[in-house]
Amino acid sequence: MISPAPTNFAAQLAQATSALHVQAERGGVIADLLRGRGTIVSYAGLMRNLLPAYRALEAGLEQHRASPLLARFVRPEVYRAAAIEADLITLGVPDQPLLPEAVAYEAAVRQAAESDGALLVAHAYTRTLGDLSGGQILRNLLGRSLGDVAAHLAFHDFPAIADIAAFKAQYRADLEIFGTAVADIQPVLNEAVLAFGHNIAVSNAVAAQFVVSA
């Protein structure tokens, strides 16, 4: 039997998005929060404006639960929509305005969930490894922006994941399997670039909407 050629798909995803990752980390409200210059209102604004994309991602994954291509990425233990809804109540600002950038991000995720859903993997990758990597760094710095309420937030807690490093290693291994199974990896790499672009746009728009003091 001839084995499929290795694609190094996980490495290609990281490479395709690495320049954008720097932008995501260093700009917008994410940069404010990393520097301790966010506010409860700006953080809640970020969460409110990521919520529709998470809902679309999680609904899209569930829709493809029976698909051999996507089943590995149907991991409810990383779903974040319920955590965000709870956190918006905890933060006391549940009715933040929904910005056009959030609507565009949600629309992109919905579109990616269409047909065989292969493009959805790019969105799942972006949020899942993001939340389990930079998200965990941000978690430790949030108290500087938010004060005591930071300790009561659910978004950065993954109670159903005992070992985050092991989970990420498995996720990357699953990406490799996907990379050998999918007809063409290039559109998925392109979609990951788009997913990062949407994250940057939301972060920038939230920063502009909820201007923080210098």
The torsion region of residue 93 among left (phi > 0), alpha (psi -120 to 50) and beta comes to beta
Could you give the CA distance from residue 63 to residue 48 in angstroms, rounded to a whole number?
23
140 SS3 class: helix
CB closer to ligand HEM out of 125 and 155:
125
Q: Closest separation between CB of residue 109 and ligand HEM, Å?
A: 13
User: Which residues contact residue 138 at a Cβ distance below 8 angstroms, ignoring those fewer than 6 apart?
Assistant: 30, 33, 34, 156
Give the contact letters, 131-170, x = binds to ligand HEM (CB under 6 A), - = no.
--xx--xx-----------------------------x--
> Of these, 25, 69, 81, 98, which contacts ligand HEM (CB under 6 A)?
25
125 binds ligand HEM, rule: CB under 6 A = yes
**Among 21-29, 48-56, 99-107, 149-157, which window interacts with ligand HEM (CB under 6 A)?**
21-29
Hey, CA dihedral for 30, 48, 149, 209, is it positive or negative?
positive
| Binding interface with ligand HEM (CB under 6 A) | 10, 13-14, 21, 24-25, 30, 34, 125-126, 129-130, 133-134, 137-138, 168, 196, 199
